[in-house]
Amino acid sequence: MAKITRKPVPRKAAVPKKKAKAAVAKPKAPAKKSLKAMKPWTPAEIREVFSRFRKANPEPKGELEHVNPFTLLVAVVLSAQATDAGVNKATRALFEVADTPQKMLDLGEERLRDYIKTIGLYRTKAKNVIALSAKVLSDFGGEVPRTRAEIESLPGAGRKTANVVLNMAFGEHTMAVDTHVFRVGNRTGLAPGKTPLDVELGLEKVIPAEFMLHAHHWLILHGRYTCLARKPRCEVCLINDLCRWPEKTV
Ligand code: SF4
């Protein structure tokens, strides 16, 4: 009888495990339990928080470089999912040649792309900046409009863009909620909310009017330099005695 020899079965190549998704700095909404445990803020405490921010930094400034409302609008549109420093690096040269809607149109989409190609999503953003420049010219006489609805009607501009422009260019008491403001609003318990809009409306409700012009910048700067996402610097935090976060480290 012929001897049966088994062919060696090739081993299955090890299938690499799915790559862990890159950490996306998605704002995390607070757990229900921790919200309940937070002691509500009193108006006097809230006033105290913002008085301390004001004393430490009376005239806070945004970090996005711009030379007029139009370049501010463009810078904010470019800043979606990008850092202010990265946007500034690109816009310094761009705004030298295109600081009005007409000059931006004259520059054209292709050359604009060259200026901003270091910024994430630059192709879509270039398209939007050209389209918004055309709309500012055709619908608003070349001036950045001054109402939320009109700003939000521009390509690439959403609620946050409108809030930043209304606040920084036109001095309105708006509260733009980015990832830093969202985190600070939730952690401190000043305005807990599941969405940026919840936090925006919550902050507008509790912050006294006298602080509203600068509140957006104080909270952004607090989140960017002190109340950091991974390792908040509670030991040097100006408001650590008032903050409601159960995990604060002081
Ligand atoms: S005490 Fe800590 S958690 Fe609270 S606001 Fe300050 S840095 Fe953030």
Domain boundary, last residue among 170, 200, 218: 170
pLDDT of residue 3: 45
204 among annotated binding-site residues: no
Residue 38's pLDDT band (cuts 50, 70, 90): confident
What whole-number percentage of the chain has pLDDT above 90? Answer: 83
Q: Confirm whether 207 is domain-assigned.
A: yes
Q: Confirm whether 17 is domain-assigned.
A: no
Asked if the model's pLDDT at residue 6 lies above 50, the reply is no
The residue whose C-alpha atom lies closest to atom 2 belonging to ligand 1 is: 234
Number of domains the chain contains: 2
Characterise 22 by phi-psi region: left (phi > 0), alpha (psi -120 to 50), beta (else). Answer: beta
pLDDT of residue 32: 58
Residue 59's pLDDT band (cuts 50, 70, 90): very high
Residue 80's pLDDT band (cuts 50, 70, 90): very high
Ligand 1 pocket member 186 (CB < 6 A): no
Ligand 1 pocket member 190 (CB < 6 A): no
Q: Confirm whether 250 is domain-assigned.
A: no
pLDDT of residue 34: 58
Mean pLDDT of 106-115: 98
Where in the sequence numbering do the catalytic residues fall?
160, 178
205 among annotated binding-site residues: no
Asked if the model's pLDDT at residue 7 lies above 50, the reply is no
Q: What is the domain extent for residue 192?
A: 38-61+174-236
Gap from CA of 188 to ligand 1 centroid (Å): 7
Average pLDDT score over the chain: 90
Tens-place pLDDT, residues 144-188: 999 999 999 999 999 999 999 999 999 999 999 999 999 999 999
Mean pLDDT of 33-58: 89
**Per-residue 3-state assignment (H helix, E strand, C coil) for the chain:** CCCCCCCCCCCCCCCCCCCCCCCCCCCCCCCHHHHHHCCCCCHHHHHHHHHHHHHHCCCCCCCCCCCCHHHHHHHHHHCCCCCHHHHHHHHHHHHHHCCCHHHHHHHCHHHHHHHHCCCCCHHHHHHHHHHHHHHHHHHHCCCCCCCHHHHHCCCCCCHHHHHHHHHHCCCCCCCCCCHHHHHHHHHHCCCCCCCHHHHHHHHHHHCCHHHHHHHHHHHHHHHHHCCCCCCCCHHHCCCCCCCCCCCCCC
What residues have CB less than 8 Å from 223, skipping those under 6 apart?
179, 180, 181, 183, 184
Of 28, 52, 237, 241, the residue with max ligand 1 atoms within 8 A of its CB, to mutate for a pocket test, comes to 237
Mean pLDDT of 187-215: 98
Mean pLDDT of 92-108: 98
23 among annotated binding-site residues: no
pLDDT of residue 31: 62
Asked if the model's pLDDT at residue 16 lies above 50, the reply is no
Are residues 83 and 135 located together in one domain of the fold? yes
Q: Confirm whether 85 is domain-assigned.
A: yes
